[in-house]
């Protein structure tokens, strides 16, 4: 018996693959988006966990502190965001090593992290057999006011089974980051001395939901 010449290692311990795209929006569109967020400041509500993949539904300040705009208030932007993401998706999927799939829908959320906020390690999807249209790809688009008035807030993406193998992505203005929704990740704590809403770390989450595969019929 001979040992493999080049062991591929354990995929669960490998650093995750992340796709990063910069300069996504024009300066005008970016300014409009920031103005939209600022105009809706009072509508942002504390975020919960457990919508997908987290341990328990509801608010959990140990796990996640941030504020999000209720999705119905952000729906006018949904088609515009989908129109930006759709043409980028084939290249992103191939970079992530994922096959093209039937898109059931895009799920979109606008989130603001301010002083002391964070989101601990989690995944964005459910695992195991299911006929729901599950989240397959997570995309996060970052924006903020200039000059940037917060520090921290990197997106840390982990190897599935390791805490000490990770990739940090800076939430650069006008940057889109994409990763498979089952990759564990966290938002590192943010410091924002002014604590003003406009100085927040803003992010648009866009989850691409996959049409579920047809499960084999029970033959018994
Ligand atoms: O804002 C980010 O960088 C990621 C947010 C996140 O992981 C989530 O909302 O599920
Ligand atoms: Fe997430």
pLDDT digits 0-9 by tens, 27-74: 999 999 999 999 999 999 998 776 443 444 466 778 999 999 988 888
Any idea where the domains of the chain sit in the sequence? Answer: 15-47+62-210
Regarding the beta carbon of 19 and ligand 1, being less than 6 Å apart is answered no
Q: Could you report the per-residue pLDDT of 159-217, keeping only the tens digit for each?
A: 999 999 999 999 999 999 999 999 999 999 999 999 999 999 999 999 999 998 777 77
Q: Quick one: which atom of ligand 1 is closest to the CA of 171?
A: 3
Beta partners for 113? 201
Q: Compute the distance from residue 9 Cα to the ligand 1 centre, in Å.
A: 28
Tell whether ipTM is more than 0.95.
Answer: yes
Other C-beta atoms closer than 10 Å to the C-beta of 26 total 10
Q: Compute the distance from residue 180 Cα to the ligand 2 centre, in Å.
A: 10
Mind giving me the DSSP string for 32-93?
Answer: HHHHHHHHTGGG-EE--B-SSSSSSSB--TTTEE-EEE-HHHHGGGHHHHHHHHHHHHHHHH
* Token pair in block for residue 167: 């990739």
Is 15-47+62-210 CATH 2.40.10.10? no
For the chain, list the strands marked E by DSSP: 19-21, 45-46, 64-65, 67-69, 103-113, 118-122, 135-143, 151-152, 155-158, 166-169, 175-180, 185-187, 190-191, 201-210
């Amino acid at each position: 018996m001979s040992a493999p010449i080049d062991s591929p290692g354990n995929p669960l311990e490998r650093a995750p693959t992340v796709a990063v795209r910069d300069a996504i929006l024009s300066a005008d569109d970016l300014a409009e988006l920031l103005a939209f967020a600022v105009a809706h400041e009072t509508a942002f509500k504390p975020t919960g966990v457990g919508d997908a993949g987290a341990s328990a539904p509801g608010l959990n300040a140990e796990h996640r502190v941030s504020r999000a705009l209720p999705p119905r208030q952000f729906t006018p932007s949904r088609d515009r965001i989908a129109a930006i993401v759709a043409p980028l998706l084939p290249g992103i999927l191939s970079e992530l090593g994922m096959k093209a799939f039937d898109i059931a829908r895009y799920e979109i959320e606008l989130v603001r992290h301010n002083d002391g906020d964070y989101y601990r390690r989690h995944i964005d999807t459910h695992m195991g057999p299911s006929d729901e249209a599950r989240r397959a790809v997570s995309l996060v688009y970052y924006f903020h006011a200039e000059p940037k008035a917060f520090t921290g807030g990197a997106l840390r993406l982990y190897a599935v089974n390791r805490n000490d193998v990770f990739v940090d992505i800076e939430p650069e203005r006008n940057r889109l980051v994409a990763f498979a929704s089952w990759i564990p990740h966290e938002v590192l704590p943010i410091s924002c001395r002014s604590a003003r809403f406009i100085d927040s770390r803003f992010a648009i989450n866009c989850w691409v939901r996959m049409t579920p595969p047809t499960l084999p019929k029970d033959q018994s």
